[in-house]
């Protein structure tokens, strides 16, 4: 599957010991659009991502990517369907180099036979070089060439964010789930991110779904926004529509008594 | 100071990039090949044993250092290798076939252990592997009809392709050859997808999973590869011991293997080799110094475990990177002379991780 598909989430619910973290949420993400999920802390934004990535098992509902029923797949096969992701708290392989991290990003496309790997047969070398070339394209795109051989544990925070984005792109996803791509970044770095997100969208043509608190970034890049609170859907629409929605304002600012 | 100018993707794949590395490896290889001409049999045998422990260390290193799965029962695989190989030899199976069967058999047992351990973390994994080690040791003791039980089992003499290799230098060369093969293979593993998925599972199971790594299967593979290599070490060890007894492969031996990789430096193949050097040199050095100490100290039993314990404490406190970490610093000091500063190797603090999921 090399073209973006529609992501359809229907009546999705999950409970953690009686707490309804996500309750009866339905939405569609159209191919090629940029879709943002906003909401106060603990609203269930990351939980939705973890449900799509199959890290959590929903108590009810369905998730389809095109014709593919995601709930029938284990977590490690989600990337083969074309859905990649980043994490809120950067989950890089700390003791490995940037290059190794990016090559793991291509894991889903690689032949992994321990015996031929142990002997490093010519075919293994050939495929390594091929994957290395693909990785280099992403390195170019995100301008992280100067970090190529650095260990992650030596990198500053902003660079780690970029590397994580690069690693997700190395899997050649058609849909990318970005969990707070701008958290912890300064204004300049946030501008860079919004620039790159546009680039990624136009150059590679992936659908972007992001959880984000920075409303400026959301306003800049998002085509549609979904607001949730306490696990329930508040509003879906253009960034302006959602911002003006009274329910959304109440969730963020509280109710005037 | 040498700067690497890379012009092809192959430059990233090559093992020995810098001239210094090439020269060092060449010197070591020549010295090892020339050793039989120079060394007395006693020291040559010790050196052969060092290679065997280096193989076992690499086996455990792949599992614990590279995949992050702790094992406190790895001597069991040493034992499985030793007994399988010896029993097969005693039934007249040729050396080469026996080694291959031993590799596969220990690998399969390792995979079975990995299958049951693949959902365990931390303490639970440590306890489970410890229990496995004790269990296997008991099996060796009780299955007397096959292993000779506590009476022991005489290992048939070394014979490759029908040629008897009874001289110390011949056995030394067999050990050296297989050790080189394992070092090369393990290094290959970590420049290819399989090894990288091991590292990925060590550092973050969560993102490994989201990048398409089947975490449970990777753990099973890591246990399998690790057990197979340790089993090979066991088979070679059998020829050094010449007589097998179950208690040789007990908990203390497992701890010795663990000590080896921690002192050597976790997560590197060179670390396992450094660890093997320490393990092999220490008893020899100790017996040398024992005579110089007053007999009240020198002849006390248990001074060797005490020293091992002290070393592990000192390494963890002063050089968590192990001997390999120290070696990197020394190397870096000379390569960047005179720019090295004390802070050159200070790592950044890792960023706070909240909401981590297992």
Q: Do A107 and B197 touch (CB under 8 A)?
A: yes
Note whether A38 and A153 are same-domain residues.
Answer: no
What domains can be seen in chain B, in order of their start residue?
Answer: 1-38 (no CATH), 39-293+301-342 (1.10.3470)
| Residue matched to tokens 């990198």 | A155
Note whether A78 and A177 are same-domain residues.
Answer: yes
Q: Do B357 and A55 touch (CB under 8 A)?
A: yes
Let me know if residue A208 belongs to a domain.
yes
Gap from A203 CA to chain B (nearest CA, Å): 22
Gap from A247 CA to chain B (nearest CA, Å): 28
- Which of B12, B196, B209 shows the shortest C-beta gap to A75? B209
Q: Which residue of B212, B229, B352, B353 is the best one to mutate when testing the A interface, meaning the one whose CB has the most A CBs within 10 A?
A: B212
Does the pLDDT at position A189 exceed 80?
A: yes
Gap from A166 CA to chain B (nearest CA, Å): 12
Let me know if residue A10 belongs to a domain.
yes
Q: Please give the residue that has the higher pLDDT: either B67 or A213.
A: B67
Let me know if residue A131 belongs to a domain.
yes
Report whether A135 contacts A170 (CB < 8 A): yes
Which CATH number do you get for residue A61? Answer: 3.40.50.300
Note whether A76 and A191 are same-domain residues.
Answer: yes
What is the Cα–Cα distance from B27 to A132, expressed in whole angstroms? 32
Note whether A104 and A154 are same-domain residues.
Answer: yes
Let me know if residue A215 belongs to a domain.
yes
B348 chain-A contacts, CB cut-off 8 A: 153-156
Note whether A185 and A227 are same-domain residues.
Answer: yes
Portion 56-85 of A in contact with B at CB < 8 A: 74-80, 84-85
Confidence of residue B273 (pLDDT cuts 50, 70, 90): very high
The model's pLDDT over B180-219, given as tens digits with 9 standing for 90+, comes to 999 999 999 999 999 999 999 999 999 999 999 999 999 9
Q: How many CA atoms lie within 13 A of A229 on its CB side?
A: 12
Q: Is B207 on the interface with A (CB under 8 A)?
A: yes
Q: Please give the residue that has the higher pLDDT: either B76 or A256.
A: B76
Among residues A127, A150, A167, the one where a domain terminates is: A167
What per-residue confidence (pLDDT) applies to A256?
Answer: 57
Q: Do B211 and A108 touch (CB under 8 A)?
A: yes
What per-residue confidence (pLDDT) applies to B88?
Answer: 95
Confidence of residue B2 (pLDDT cuts 50, 70, 90): low
Does the pLDDT at position B165 exceed 80?
A: yes
The model's pLDDT over B303-356, given as tens digits with 9 standing for 90+, comes to 777 877 888 888 888 888 888 888 888 888 887 777 777 766 665 455 444 444
Let me know if residue A88 belongs to a domain.
no
Q: Which residue of A81, A82, A114 is the best one to mutate when testing the B interface, meaning the one whose CB has the most B CBs within 10 A?
A: A114
- Which of B203, B207, B214 shows the shortest C-beta gap to A87? B207
Report whether B57 contacts B267 (CB < 8 A): no
Q: Is A119 on the interface with B (CB under 8 A)?
A: yes
Residue A208, SS3?
strand
Portion 146-175 of A in contact with B at CB < 8 A: 153-157, 160, 167, 171
Let me know if residue A89 belongs to a domain.
no
Q: Do B213 and A100 touch (CB under 8 A)?
A: no
Note whether A48 and A78 are same-domain residues.
Answer: yes
Chain A residue nearest residue B193, CA to CA:
A112
A135 chain-B contacts, CB cut-off 8 A: none
The model's pLDDT over A230-242, given as tens digits with 9 standing for 90+, comes to 899 999 999 999 9
Does the pLDDT at position B172 exceed 50?
A: yes
Chain B residue nearest residue A95, CA to CA:
B203
Range of the domain at A159: 94-167
What residues contact residue A144 under an 8 Å CB cut-off, 6+ apart? A98, A159, A162, A163, A166
Average pLDDT, chain B: 88
Let me know if residue A59 belongs to a domain.
yes
Which phi-psi region, left, alpha or beta, contains residue B226 (left: φ > 0; alpha: ψ -120 to 50)? alpha
What per-residue confidence (pLDDT) applies to B353?
Answer: 46
- Alpha helices (runs of H) in A208-245, residue ranges in sequence order: 215-221, 239-244
A120 chain-B contacts, CB cut-off 8 A: 188, 191-192
Share in percent of chain A as helix, strand, coil (round to 5): 45, 25, 30
Average pLDDT over residues A33-41: 91
What is the Cα–Cα distance from B186 to B200, expressed in whole angstroms? 16
Let me know if residue A134 belongs to a domain.
yes
Number of domains in chain A: 2
Note whether A9 and A76 are same-domain residues.
Answer: yes
Among residues A167, A186, A210, the one where a domain terminates is: A167
Poorest-pLDDT segment among B106-110, B139-143, B251-255, B318-322:
B318-322
| Residue matched to tokens 């939405």 | A27
Q: Do A80 and B212 touch (CB under 8 A)?
A: yes
- Which of A76, A113, A128 shows the shortest C-beta gap to B214? A76
Q: Is A41 on the interface with B (CB under 8 A)?
A: no
pTM over 0.80: yes
What per-residue confidence (pLDDT) applies to B346?
Answer: 63
Of B212, B343, B254, nearest to A76 by C-alpha is B212
Note whether A160 and A179 are same-domain residues.
Answer: no
Note whether A78 and A188 are same-domain residues.
Answer: yes
Q: Please give the residue that has the higher pLDDT: either B68 or B10.
A: B68
The model's pLDDT over A41-97, given as tens digits with 9 standing for 90+, comes to 888 899 999 999 999 999 999 999 999 999 999 999 999 999 999 998 889 998 899
Report whether A102 contacts A165 (CB < 8 A): no
Angle formed at CA B300 by CA B295 and CA B301, multiple of 5 degrees? 150
Q: Is A117 on the interface with B (CB under 8 A)?
A: yes
Q: Do B194 and A114 touch (CB under 8 A)?
A: yes
Q: Is A44 on the interface with B (CB under 8 A)?
A: no
Note whether A196 and A70 are same-domain residues.
Answer: yes
Give the single-character DSSP code of B190: T
Among residues A167, A189, A222, the one where a domain terminates is: A167
Q: Which residue of A78, A83, A120 is the best one to mutate when testing the B interface, meaning the one whose CB has the most B CBs within 10 A?
A: A120
Q: Do B211 and A100 touch (CB under 8 A)?
A: no
Note whether A216 and A244 are same-domain residues.
Answer: yes
- Which of B13, B193, B350 shows the shortest C-beta gap to A107? B193
What per-residue confidence (pLDDT) applies to B1?
Answer: 56
Report whether A13 contacts A60 (CB < 8 A): yes
Note whether A178 and A74 are same-domain residues.
Answer: yes
Number of cross-chain residue pairs from A and B with Cβ atoms under 8 Å apart? 137
């Amino acid at each position: 599957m090399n073209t973006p598909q529609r992501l359809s989430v229907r009546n999705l619910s999950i409970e953690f010991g009686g707490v309804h973290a996500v309750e009866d949420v339905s939405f569609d993400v159209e191919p090629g659009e940029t879709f943002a999920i906003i909401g106060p802390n603990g609203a269930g934004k990351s939980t939705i991502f973890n449900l799509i990535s199959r890290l959590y098992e929903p108590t009810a509902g369905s998730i389809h990517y095109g014709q593919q029923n995601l709930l029938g797949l284990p977590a490690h096969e989600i990337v083969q369907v074309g859905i990649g992701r980043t994490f809120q708290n950067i989950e890089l392989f700390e003791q490995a180099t940037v290059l190794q991290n990016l090559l793991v990003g291509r894991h889903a496309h690689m032949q992994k036979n321990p015996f031929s790997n142990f002997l490093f047969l010519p075919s293994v070398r050939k495929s390594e070089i091929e994957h290395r070339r693909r990785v280099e394209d992403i390195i170019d795109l995100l301008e992280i060439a100067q970090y190529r051989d650095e260990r992650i544990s030596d990198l500053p925070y902003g660079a780690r964010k970029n590397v994580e984005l690069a690693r997700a792109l190395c899997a050649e996803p058609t849909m990318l789930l970005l969990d707070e791509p701008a958290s912890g970044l300064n204004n300049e770095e946030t501008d860079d991110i919004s620039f790159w997100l546009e680039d990624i969208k136009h150059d590679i043509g992936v659908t972007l779904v992001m959880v984000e608190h920075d409303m400026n970034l959301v306003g800049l890049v998002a085509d549609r926004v979904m607001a949730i609170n306490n696990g329930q859907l508040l509003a879906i629409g253009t960034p302006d529509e959602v911002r003006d929605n009274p329910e959304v304002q109440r969730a963020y600012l509280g109710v005037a008594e | 100071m040498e700067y690497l100018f890379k012009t092809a993707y192959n430059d990233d794949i090559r093992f020995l990039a810098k001239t210094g590395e090439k020269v060092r490896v060449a010197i070591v290889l020549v010295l090892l090949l020339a050793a039989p001409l120079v060394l007395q049999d006693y020291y040559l045998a010790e050196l052969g044993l060092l290679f065997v422990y280096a193989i076992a260390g690499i086996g455990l290193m792949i599992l614990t250092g590279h995949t992050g799965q702790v094992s406190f029962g790895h001597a069991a695989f040493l034992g499985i290798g030793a007994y399988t190989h010896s029993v097969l030899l005693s039934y007249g199976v040729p050396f080469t076939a026996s080694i291959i069967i031993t590799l596969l058999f220990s690998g399969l047992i390792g995979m079975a252990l990995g299958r049951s351990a693949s959902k365990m973390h931390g303490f639970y994994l440590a306890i489970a592997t410890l229990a496995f080690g004790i269990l296997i040791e008991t099996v060796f003791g009780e299955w007397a009809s096959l292993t000779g039980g506590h009476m022991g089992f005489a290992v048939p003499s070394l014979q490759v392709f029908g040629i008897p290799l009874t001289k110390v230098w011949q056995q030394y060369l067999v050990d050296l050859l297989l050790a080189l093969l394992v070092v090369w293979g393990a290094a290959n593993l970590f420049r290819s997808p399989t090894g990288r998925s091991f590292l990925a599972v060590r550092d973050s199971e969560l993102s490994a999973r989201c990048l398409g790594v089947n975490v449970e299967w990777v753990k099973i593979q890591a246990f399998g590869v690790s057990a197979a290599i340790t089993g090979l070490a066991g088979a070679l060890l059998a020829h050094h011991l010449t007589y097998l007894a179950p208690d040789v492969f007990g908990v203390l031996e497992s701890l010795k293997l663990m000590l080896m990789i921690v002192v050597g430096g976790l997560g590197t193949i060179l670390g396992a080799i450094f660890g093997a050097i320490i393990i092999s040199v220490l008893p020899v050095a100790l017996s040398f110094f024992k005579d110089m100490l007053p007999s009240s100290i020198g002849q006390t039993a248990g001074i060797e475990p005490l020293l091992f314990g002290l070393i592990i404490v000192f390494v963890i406190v002063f050089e968590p990177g192990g001997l390999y970490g120290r070696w990197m610093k020394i190397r870096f000091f000379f390569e960047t002379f005179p720019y090295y500063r004390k802070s050159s190797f200070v790592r950044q603090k890792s960023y706070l991780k909240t909401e981590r999921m297992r």
